[in-house]
Amino acid sequence: MGVTPKIAPSMLASDFANLASEAKRMLDFGADWLHMDIMDGYVSLLSWTSLLKDFASLSFYFFSTSCFSHFHRHFVPNLTIGAPVIESLRKQTKAFLDCHLMVTNPIDYVEPLGKAGASGFTFHVEVSKENWQELIQKIKSKAMRPGVALKPGTPIEEVYPLVDSENLVEMVLVMTVEPGFGGQKFMPEMVDKVRVLRKKYPALDIEVDGGLGPSTIEMAASAGANCIVAGSSIFGAADAKLCFGKSGEMLTSFLQPRSKHICF
């Protein structure tokens, strides 16, 4: 397999009040990338109903009904970080900031994230079917590395055109949980997507994200994933240090290639 193993702790699971020090701690342990989850959030109908009851004014009613459809179109319910946080973290580290965009309109984020210092820009295929070629071009024009992600219910064939294109993505992120929240249970059936991708694209970076830990990383890695994202299993561990060959210490709950020594 002609790919490089990459370990990317998901900073969504870190202590946001101490983001810079958490990032440094992960890098000191041996992390290759820092995974940054950028989510747009949406407001549910139930939330709007509650707000209308609390603020029963006509003007508020018109405001809420006109805005509801906009919020509901957002990609995931959770709301996390944006370009200002990336910019702040960039001032504290030279690390590769692996940004995963779980948003409805990723093209709107290209310029601000490029200016903020993002290294990688991974967008979802589900929201980019009409403009992925333009999106990839813009990402590269801002000196970021383009990647494409797909939800568990999306057929793997939908990313093929983006990898086969002349202006191609450089990584495919296979979600092994539904996007939106950390700490979910790994979906083993997603491993088949990884296996198919690796057979078709031997030199492609294949990232997996969701529910990765000591009991699941080996399954994903053996199928061909070379980029591992893990959050709760690392930041929630009693001891985040492990043996990591020449580098000394690494992160708990990660499976490393056979060329590297690891202990859980």
For residues 144 and 227, membership in a common domain is answered with: yes
Say how far apart CA 223 and CA 225 lie, in whole Å. 6
63 is in an annotated binding site: no
Q: What are phi and psi of 3, to 5 degrees?
A: -130, 160
For residues 51 and 133, membership in a common domain is answered with: no
How far apart are the two ends of the chain, measured CA to CA in Å? 24
211 is in an annotated binding site: yes
**pTM given for the model:** 0.81
User: Which residues in the chain come in under a pLDDT of 70?
Assistant: 1, 42-74, 76-77, 181-183, 240-264
For residues 105 and 227, membership in a common domain is answered with: yes
- pLDDT per residue over 103-161, tens digit each? 999 999 999 999 999 999 999 999 999 999 999 999 999 999 999 999 999 999 999 99
Residue where one domain finishes, among candidates 74, 95, 127: 74
For residues 25 and 70, membership in a common domain is answered with: no
Which residues constitute the domain of residue 121? 6-40+75-260
CA 241 to chain centre: 23
For residues 31 and 85, membership in a common domain is answered with: yes
Please name the helix (run of DSSP H) or strand (run of DSSP E) that holds residue 162, with its range, or none. Answer: helix 160-164
- Asked if the structure places residue 113 within a domain, the reply is yes
State residue 29's pLDDT score. 85
- Total of domains in the chain: 2
State residue 57's pLDDT score. 45
Question: What is the number of H-type helices and E-type strands within the chain?
Answer: 10, 10
Residue the block writes with tokens 């699971």: 13
For residues 196 and 130, membership in a common domain is answered with: yes
For residues 10 and 105, membership in a common domain is answered with: yes
State residue 252's pLDDT score. 30
Q: Give the residue among 154, 213, 206, 207 at the shortest CA–CA distance from 183.
A: 213
- Asked if the structure places residue 1 within a domain, the reply is no
82 is in an annotated binding site: no
70 is in an annotated binding site: no
Say how far apart CA 4 and CA 111 lie, in whole Å. 28
For residues 58 and 19, membership in a common domain is answered with: no
For residues 230 and 116, membership in a common domain is answered with: yes
What does DSSP assign to residue 55? S
Looking at the annotation, which residues are catalytic? 37, 209
For residues 216 and 122, membership in a common domain is answered with: yes
Q: Are 81 and 36 in contact (CB under 8 A)?
A: yes
For residues 125 and 137, membership in a common domain is answered with: yes
35 is in an annotated binding site: yes
30 is in an annotated binding site: no
For residues 174 and 242, membership in a common domain is answered with: yes
Give the CATH number, domain containing residue 126.
3.20.20.70
Tokens of 219: 């399954």
